[in-house]
Amino acid sequence: MPAVRLLLASGSVRRRDLLTRLGADFHVVPASIDDGQLSPPSTASAISWTMAMAYLKARSAAQELAPGSSGFIVGADTACELDGRIIGKPTDENQARQMLRSMVGQSQCVVTGVAVIDASQPRGPRLVVADVARVTFGMIYEDAIDRYLVTGAWRGKAGGYNLTERIGDGWPITVEGDPDTVVGLPTRRLGGWLGHAQSWGAPE
């Protein structure tokens, strides 16, 4: 990954963990928006929606910075798409149960949109992109779903689940593509995207 200073426009522990694993130099500047309170229009695709949300988060974080700040602001948003429907974060346990039930025995697309903007010129050049992974759930029985739901671990997660935790708990889940895209940040492609952003001449 290019040696650039990153400002992560996200309070997600999972995204912080992914950047830490990459050895990235980053600081967290959470976006001042609650994406869980926003709903995509029925005509939106998961790709267009997550890209728009990622950019909104990056611009929101830029407003929190002091004038003259440098580096690249990275915003990200993740959503699932099943049977043409966008599935975001569940608002309560019942909705989380419905989401998980709908995924059993099915394949879904998980999309993470990413926006990169220059902190020194937030209205200047931007990169808004997305990566897609395909996730397939095997047979997951009702009692396993119930045991998971009572933990509350479904909160704040697109589709109501964290990939690494669910596989670690023995759920039969397979992934085509970058598993980190499902977790919340496409690390396989992030370095290339940041390398492109460096051509804007932003300070490191």
pLDDT, one tens digit for every residue, the chain (204 residues) = 656 789 999 988 999 999 999 998 899 998 877 666 677 777 789 999 999 999 999 999 999 888 878 899 999 999 999 998 998 889 999 999 999 999 999 999 999 999 999 998 878 889 999 999 999 999 999 999 999 999 999 998 989 999 999 999 999 999 999 999 999 999 999 999 998 888 875 444
The question of whether 77 is a catalytic residue gets the answer yes
| Short-list 69, 83, 81, CA closest to 158 | 81
Residue 189 and residue 183 in contact, taking contact as beta carbons nearer than 8 Å: no
Q: What is the DSSP string of 159-202?
A: GG--HHHHHHTT--EEEES-HHHHHT--HHHHHHHHHHHHTTT-
- Across the chain, the runs of DSSP E, i.e. the strands, are 5-8, 25-28, 72-82, 85-87, 107-118, 126-137, 173-176
Two tokens, residue 151: 């933990």
Q: What is the reported pLDDT for 75?
A: 96
Q: Which three-class secondary structure state does DSSP give residue 127?
A: strand
Is the Cβ–Cβ distance between 133 and 176 less than 8 Å?
yes
What is residue 125's predicted lDDT score, i.e. its pLDDT? 87
Give the three-class secondary structure for 98.
helix
What is the reported pLDDT for 1? 61
Q: Single out the catalytic residue among 17, 34, 35, 77.
A: 77
Per-residue model confidence (pLDDT) at position 32? 79
Take residue 198 and report the two structure tokens written for it: 């460096």
pLDDT of residue 121: 86
Q: What is the pLDDT of residue 204?
A: 42
Q: Whole-angstrom Cα distance, residue 115 to residue 151?
A: 32
